[in-house]
Amino acid sequence: MLVIVASRHDKAAEALAVSWAAHDATLLTAEDLSVAGWRHYLSSSVDSTVVVGGQAIATAKITGVLIRLPYLPEQELLHIVPEDRAYVATEMNAFLVSWLSGLQCPVLNRPTPTYLLGPNWRQQQWVYAAAQIGIPVRPVQRKAVLSTPIQTQVLEKPPVSVTVVGNRCVGQVDDKLATHAKRLARTANVELLTVQFTSREANAELINAELWADISHPEIADAILECFGD
């Protein structure tokens, strides 16, 4: 079984689960966390049980997990009384971090203590990390002046994105840029990463990276399936 941890409003995740029906893919939403049947053993994840799509199953049946939620917001918990939602969301988020971290199957990406999608880096941190391993970068500029409009950084042309999925790279860029993107993903210890460059050419500079991927792109979806061994 493939599990997609997502918001109940995530239409792309819902469509992906449908297209992966032959691989027994199912959405795990916040509602599932309120259904009886969960058993999470820290010392033996294979003996644990999980509720997916409203049904309790053995954790050992899960062959791969794709995480689409950066954190569990209280807005996902409309079935919880309003005065308890913030507290319940915090507890559920901590539970998800523990459960996902203990899984033995492939998980894209592994959560960190504060972010379900992996390292919660801002643009400056991605650019800094890339520069530290020798990737050409476009310096991040921020300017704040009192009483006048803030001027954001303006690029001469739209950035080009390439998505790292495991050992593959999806995107029409020079091979050198694909190698840069893979190196940055390894540095961040993630398997799923979208990297932006100033152009498709080999001498392009890295602008930003994010842990969000366009799973509606067929080639990215296929690459994720490969990571799960399906």
- Taking the chain (230 residues) in runs of 10, the rounded mean pLDDT of each run is 95 96 95 93 83 92 96 92 95 94 93 94 96 95 70 72 96 96 97 97 96 96 90
pLDDT of residue 137: 97
pLDDT of residue 86: 95
- For residue 3, which phi and psi values (nearest 5 degrees)? -115, 130
pLDDT of residue 152: 60
Please state the length of the chain: 230
Number of other residues whose CB lies within 10 A of the CB of residue 89: 20
Question: Given CA atoms 77, 82, 86, 90 in this order, what sign does their dihedral have?
Answer: negative
pTM over 0.85: yes
pLDDT of residue 147: 67
Residue 203 to residues 11, 135, 154, 199, 208, Cα–Cα distance (Å): 37, 10, 19, 8, 16
